[in-house]
Amino acid sequence: MKAIKMSQTGDPEVLQLVETKEPEVDKNEVMVKLYFAGVNPFETYIRAGGYAFFSPELPYIPGFDGAGEIEKIGKEVQGFAVGDRVFVASTLSKTTGTYAEKVVCGADAIRKLPSFMSYAEGAAIGVPATTAYKALFQRGRLAQGEKVLIHGASGGVGMLAVQMAKHQGAYVIGTAGSAEGMAAVKKNGADLVLNHHESEYLKNISEVDLIIEMLANENLTNDLRVINTFGRIVVVGNRGTLEFDPRQTMAKEIDILGMAVWHYQPAGYQHCLDEIEKMLDQKVLTPVIGKTYPLEEASQAQYDIIHSKAQGKILLEIQPD
Ligand X SMILES: NC(=O)c1ccc[n+]([C@@H]2O[C@H](COP(=O)([O-])OP(=O)(O)OC[C@H]3O[C@@H](n4cnc5c(N)ncnc54)[C@H](OP(=O)(O)O)[C@@H]3O)[C@@H](O)[C@H]2O)c1
Under the rule (CB under 6 A), what is the footprint of ligand X? 40-42, 127-128, 131, 151-158, 175-178, 181, 196, 214-215, 218-219, 236-237, 259-261, 305, 309-310
The residue whose Cβ lies closest to ligand X is: 155
Least separation in angstroms between residue 235's CB and ligand X is: 8
The rounded distance, in Å, linking the Cα atoms of 254 and 238 is 19
Least separation in angstroms between residue 147's CB and ligand X is: 17
Residue 86, number of CB atoms within 10 A of its CB:
23
Least separation in angstroms between residue 17's CB and ligand X is: 23
The rounded distance, in Å, linking the Cα atoms of 208 and 166 is 15
Question: Which of 108, 44, 10 shows the shortest CA–CA distance to 314?
Answer: 44
**Nearer CB in complex with ligand X: 34/127:** 127
**Nearer CB in complex with ligand X: 66/156:** 156
User: What angle in degrees, to the nearest 10, is found between the helix axes of 41-48 and 298-307?
Assistant: 110
**Nearer CB in complex with ligand X: 214/285:** 214
Please check whether residue 87 is in contact with residue 45, taking contact to mean a CB–CB distance below 8 angstroms. Answer: no
**Nearer CB in complex with ligand X: 193/279:** 193
Least separation in angstroms between residue 75's CB and ligand X is: 33
**Nearer CB in complex with ligand X: 31/173:** 173
Least separation in angstroms between residue 1's CB and ligand X is: 26
Strands 16-19 and 313-317: unpaired
DSSP code at position 60: B
**Nearer CB in complex with ligand X: 23/156:** 156
Q: Write the DSSP string, 166-202.
A: HHTT-EEEEEESSHHHHHHHHHTT-SEEEETTSTTTT
The rounded distance, in Å, linking the Cα atoms of 131 and 236 is 8
Question: Which of 197, 193, 179 shows the shortest CA–CA distance to 149?
Answer: 193
**Nearer CB in complex with ligand X: 74/177:** 177
Least separation in angstroms between residue 78's CB and ligand X is: 29
Please check whether residue 7 is in contact with residue 59, taking contact to mean a CB–CB distance below 8 angstroms. Answer: yes
Least separation in angstroms between residue 21's CB and ligand X is: 30
